[in-house]
């Protein structure tokens, strides 16, 4: 196997701190399993924006196209408006490469104190499948009567049959492949009366092909409540761009720290590279201190290898994460320990 060509975008804030640990662990696991990497670094970030007036060059997307995958730390920093930084880098990558699935596992690990009373590892272990390129994250809208008391802002959401069906199919397939075969759909069709009833109708229509999958649906309000009340109920949860975003922060919070949460922005048809990034952002409040938890980054790397056909490397990394967490002597402050980013990264690399 020739080397895997990975585009590396550390980005902003703690993105630049956790990225070396992600690479360290991937290198260690690659060495063990005979996988070589060719890392290409891109300094696209808010700093890049400050220097060049853009988060990435005009041909940025084209530069990324030939890579096997994109490995991204975090984007966004105070001083640059989010809709400039994120919509200048993260969102275009998701869209241009049609990474229409955002897959985000939620799992309670032995060794991380759980904020929910009485929950044990095994109780919380589900996947959030988030629609990643349309829906509520729409550039369509604007303001009328600007600057007056009569200002009206319209924001549109766009849901297409193609866009909804393909994320639902992915979620059904995933549910079907798991022992519980249980899919929960996030909706809000009682309040949002065009897009969400449509979503519900497609959940029913697409589901016809998956008679073995047990489906339920919850309005997003009670669904967030249920993540706290009965996190053991969930197996695969599918939601729109916004609802999936919410659930994939809340879910990890229920497992003790959002900093371990990984994500895979997947183009299942492989017509372009997929992108792997931790769910946490650039975390300006702790940036520069060297205490960020690198597990979200490392786990995202494991998902990248799984996507690239090396589930052996994925499994090896996950075992090392589990082992280090369980052992418990090397945890970052968010997990109520005192280890540094580098110490935890090294511990996991050594456990490989």
Binding site for a second copy (CB under 8 A): 76, 81-83, 86-87, 91, 113-117, 136-143, 148-162, 188-198, 220-222, 224-226, 228-229, 241-242, 245-246, 248-250, 252-254, 258
x-or-dash string of contact with ligand IPM, 212-251, rule CB under 6 A: ---------x-----------------------x------
C-alpha dihedral over 92, 280, 327, 313, to 10 degrees?
Answer: 0
* Among ligand IPM, a second copy, none, partner that 285 touches (CB below 5 to 8 angstroms by kind): none
Residue with Cβ nearer a second copy (126 or 159): 159
**Residue closer to ligand IPM (CB basis): 156 or 336:** 156
Nearest to 301 by CA among 338, 337, 339, 274: 274
Q: Measured from the CB atom, is 62 or 221 closer to a second copy?
A: 221
Other CB atoms closer than 10 Å to residue 160's CB: what's the count?
A: 12
Q: Compute the least distance from the CB of residue 98 to ligand IPM, in Å.
A: 16
Q: Is 49 helix (H, G, I), strand (E, B) or coil?
A: helix
Nearest by Cα to 183 from 193, 168, 196: 168
CB of 279 to ligand IPM, least distance (A): 6
CB distance 105 to 223 below 8 Å? no
Q: Which does 274 bind (CB under 5 to 8 A by kind): a second copy, ligand IPM, none?
A: none
Within residues 85-104, the interface with ligand IPM by CB under 6 A covers 86
Q: Could you say whether residue 12 binds ligand IPM (CB under 6 A)?
A: no
Picked from a second copy, ligand IPM, none, the partner binding residue 260 (CB below 5 to 8 A depending on kind) is none
Contact 282, 77 (CB under 8 A): yes
Is residue 192 part of the contact set for ligand IPM (CB under 6 A)? no
- The yes or no reply on residue 138 touching ligand IPM (CB under 6 A) is no
β-pairing verdict for 236-239 and 69-74: unpaired
Cα–Cα distances in Å, from 154 out to 83, 87, 140, 151, 176? Answer: 17, 19, 8, 10, 39
**CB burial class (10 A; 0-12, 13-18, 19+) of residue 62?**
exposed
Note the residues at the interface with ligand IPM (CB under 6 A): 86, 190-191, 221, 245, 279, 281
């Amino acid at each position: 196997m020739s080397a895997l060509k990975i585009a590396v975008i550390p980005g902003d804030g703690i993105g630049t701190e956790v990225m070396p640990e992600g690479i360290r662990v991937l290198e260690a696991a690659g060495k063990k399993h005979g996988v070589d990497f060719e890392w290409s670094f891109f300094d696209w970030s808010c700093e890049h924006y400050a220097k060049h007036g853009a988060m990435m060059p005009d041909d940025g997307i084209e530069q990324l196209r030939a890579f096997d995958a994109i490995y991204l730390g975090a984007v966004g920093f105070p001083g640059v408006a989010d809709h400039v930084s994120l919509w200048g880098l993260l969102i275009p990558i998701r869209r241009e490469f049609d990474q229409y699935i955002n897959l985000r596992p939620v799992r309670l690990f032995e060794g991380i104190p759980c904020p929910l009373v009485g929950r044990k590892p095994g109780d919380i272990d589900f996947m959030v499948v988030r629609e990643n390129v349309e829906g509520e994250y729409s550039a369509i809208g604007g303001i009328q009567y600007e600057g007056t008391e009569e200002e009206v802002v319209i924001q549109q959401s766009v849901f297409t049959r193609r866009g909804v069906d393909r994320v639902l199919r992915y979620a059904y397939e995933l549910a079907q492949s798991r022992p519980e075969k249980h899919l929960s759909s996030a909706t809000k069709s009682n309040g949002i009366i065009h897009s969400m009833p449509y979503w519900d109708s497609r959940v029913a229509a697409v589901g016809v092909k998956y008679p073995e999958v047990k489906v339920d649906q919850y309005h997003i309000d009670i669904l967030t409540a249920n993540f706290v009340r009965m996190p053991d109920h969930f197996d695969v949860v599918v939601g729109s761009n916004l609802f999936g975003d919410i659930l994939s922060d809340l879910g990890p919070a229920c497992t003790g720290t959002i900093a371990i949460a990984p994500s895979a922005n997947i183009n299942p048809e492989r017509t372009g590279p997929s992108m792997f990034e931790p769910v946490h952002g650039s975390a300006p409040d702790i940036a520069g201190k060297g205490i960020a938890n690198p597990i979200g980054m490392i786990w995202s790397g494991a998902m990248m290898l799984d996507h690239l056909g090396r589930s052996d490397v994925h499994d090896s990394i996950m075992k090392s994460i589990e082992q280090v967490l369980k052992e418990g002597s090397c945890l970052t402050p968010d997990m109520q320990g005192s280890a540094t980013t580098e110490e935890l990264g090294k511990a996991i690399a050594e456990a490989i």
